[in-house]
Amino acid sequence: MTVDTTVPVTDCTFVAFDYETTGLHPAVDRIVEFGAVRFTVGRELAEFSELANPGMPINPDASRVSGITDAMVAGKAPVEDVLPRFMEFAGSAILVAHNAEFDTGFLRAELQRAGMPTVESLIIDTQVLAQKAFPGKKSYSLQNLVEMLGIPANTAHRARDDARQCMRLFEHCVQALSFMGDLPLADVLT
């Protein structure tokens, strides 16, 4: 997919996304919750939130972080049924994630398992972007950046809420980097 990176960020559509998973390893672990927010800078357009049955137990450590239990996903659609709905929601938007390598690793692994084509969308990592917009911070975790910027707290470690905070962090980064007028897309690509 070819994207004109000279267009202003304000003319682009983005999907901030986050997953909760059974563990930390995309090769063996699975997604248990999909969360995403479609937006343009300054305007939320739609949201996506769905639990999925991973077909395997959730690691107790992962369950402690997210609060998602095996019982909560037992009657839900399997990951391979939720995945196409998530991909349809994402469409051709530019994807945005915090620590994007983690979430895109899971996305690519799930797409491969389902026999679906890999992601071709541009992907922006707000952790890297925040380092550019707010250099010299002690921590670039999503929770620390949200607190530092005064972004209203949601339920941390639930996919839709983390996706929404990622969207707001992205908007703060754009604002910090666009001090001289329109910011071209190329300036936020990480």
The predicted-structure confidence for 7-66, as pLDDT tens digits, reads as follows 999 999 999 999 999 999 999 999 999 999 999 999 999 999 999 999 999 999 999 999
2 within domain boundaries: no
The least confident of 42-46, 150-154, 184-188 is 150-154
CA 86 to chain centre: 12
CATH number assigned to the domain comprising residue 67: 3.30.420.10
Q: Give catalytic status of residue 172 as yes or no.
A: no
Beta carbons within 8 Å of 43's beta carbon, 6+ residues apart: none
Half-sphere exposure of 125 (CA within 13 A, CB side): 14
Count of structural domains, the chain: 1
Which is the catalytic residue, given 25, 98, 157, 172? 157
Instruction: Quote the domain boundaries for residue 138.
Output: 9-187
14 within domain boundaries: yes
Cβ neighbours, 10 Å, residue 9 = 23
171 within domain boundaries: yes
